[in-house]
Every structure is written in C-alpha cells, then in structure tokens.
C-alpha cells in the first residue's frame, strides 16, 4: 500500500519531536494540511517552503531543522543523519519505528486529520508563458482579497481548503493541487482555478 510522503513525514515527526530540542519541521507547499495540523497538535511549528529538492534540502540545513521533506518523496533527516535525501535511510527509519512498537503502519497513522485532495495536476504551458499566467492568477487572488502564500507560485488559503497554482521547475507546465474539507468544496476550488488557467493559457 502506497503511503503518501506527507503521511510518512507525520509518522517521523511523531517519533522524533520529543527527542529533538528544536521542534520545527519543514514541508513544501504541496503537502497536505494534515502535516501542519499534526505538527501543531504535537506542540511544534511547521514551516511551509517552496517545492524543489535543492530548495527544501538547503532550507532544512540552513534553518538547522531536525527533519523536513516535500510531497514528491524527498525527506531530510538531520537528527542522526547528514541531511541528504536517501530512500534507503528513510525506509530504515520507518523499520526502526515499527521494530519499537506493536502497532502496524495503519495504526501509526491513526488520528490524522483527513482531507479530500487531488493528485498534482499538470497543464501544458510554454516556459515563456507559464510565469505570466501565475502573475495573472496572483492578480485575481488579490482582487478577491483571498489569503495566499506566494513563496512558490500562488497557494490560496481558505478556512475549508486550499488551491495551489505554480509554474513547474522541471518542464513546460503549470502544476496545480487542491485540498478541501468536503468533496463538494474540492470540486468548487478545482473549477474556479482550472477555469482561470484555461482562460489565461489560450
């Protein structure tokens, strides 16, 4: 069974938060609100950062954080590891947790706030156009007086969900992701922002 990276990260934070002095952990803009919710429930602070392996890895190092990661699968341990991403080491850390408990993975994931979310969706857009589309999305968001983050594209924050629209770092695409408290709200967010992308991307 596939475990989304942000849920894996929750298991790690639950394991190490009381073993580290600085209780701050990093995630990228694509991670579920489930992660920040859990960090805050545990008495820690969640730092949301831009997507990109080189960016998130450097930020975890520069901010002197014990752990951080991004939804794409890169995770960085600095409590007992040099801070570079290794799938083998990440797997061993989960095995270590499992070896010290009678719980299985499903039980270790209990109590997490659950939301409805999309996969990362991609819309073809040439490299010389995609950043202009993000600028137009930002103008729209400001005109609506929406709450937003602009550290990596535009992440629009609502009480009942969020919408992320950003220019891909790796190809001629606009990438988007949505999350909401209900399926109906998720569909409404998708319609609002995908309609804008399609209008601006003509």
What's the rounded mean pLDDT across residues 69-89? 97
Going by pLDDT thresholds of 50, 70 and 90, the confidence category of residue 197 is very high
Backbone angles phi, psi at 113, to 5 degrees: -65, 125
What's the rounded mean pLDDT across residues 83-106? 97
Beta-carbon contacts of residue 20 (< 8 Å; ≥ 6 apart)? 66, 67, 79
Going by pLDDT thresholds of 50, 70 and 90, the confidence category of residue 75 is very high
The pTM for the full model equals 0.93
Each residue of 176-194: pLDDT tens digit? 999 999 999 999 999 999 9
- pLDDT at residue 1 in the model: 87
Kindly state the percentage of the chain with pLDDT values over 70. Answer: 100
pLDDT at 97 over 90: yes
Each residue of 41-70: pLDDT tens digit? 999 999 999 999 999 999 999 999 999 999
- Please compute Rg for the chain using Cα positions: 18
């Amino acid at each position: 069974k596939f475990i989304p990276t942000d849920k894996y990260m929750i298991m790690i934070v639950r394991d190490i938060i009381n073993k580290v002095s600085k209780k701050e952990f990093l995630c990228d803009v694509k991670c579920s609100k489930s992660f920040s919710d859990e960090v805050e429930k545990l008495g820690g602070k969640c730092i949301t950062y831009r997507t990109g392996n080189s960016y998130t890895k450097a930020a975890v190092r520069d901010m002197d954080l014990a752990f951080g990661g991004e939804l794409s699968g890169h995770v960085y341990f600095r409590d007992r590891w040099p801070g570079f991403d290794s799938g083998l080491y990440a797997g061993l850390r989960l095995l270590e947790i499992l070896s010290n408990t009678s719980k299985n993975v499903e039980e270790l994931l209990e109590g997490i706030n659950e939301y409805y979310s999309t996969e990362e969706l991609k819309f073809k857009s040439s490299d010389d156009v995609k950043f202009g589309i993000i600028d137009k999305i930002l103008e729209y968001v400001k005109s609506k007086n929406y709450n937003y983050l602009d550290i990596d594209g535009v992440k629009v924050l609502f009480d009942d969900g969020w919408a992320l629209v950003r220019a891909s770092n790796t190809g001629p695409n606009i990438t988007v992701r949505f999350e909401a408290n209900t399926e109906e709200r998720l569909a409404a967010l998708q319609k609002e922002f995908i309609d804008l992308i399609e209008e601006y991307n003509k």
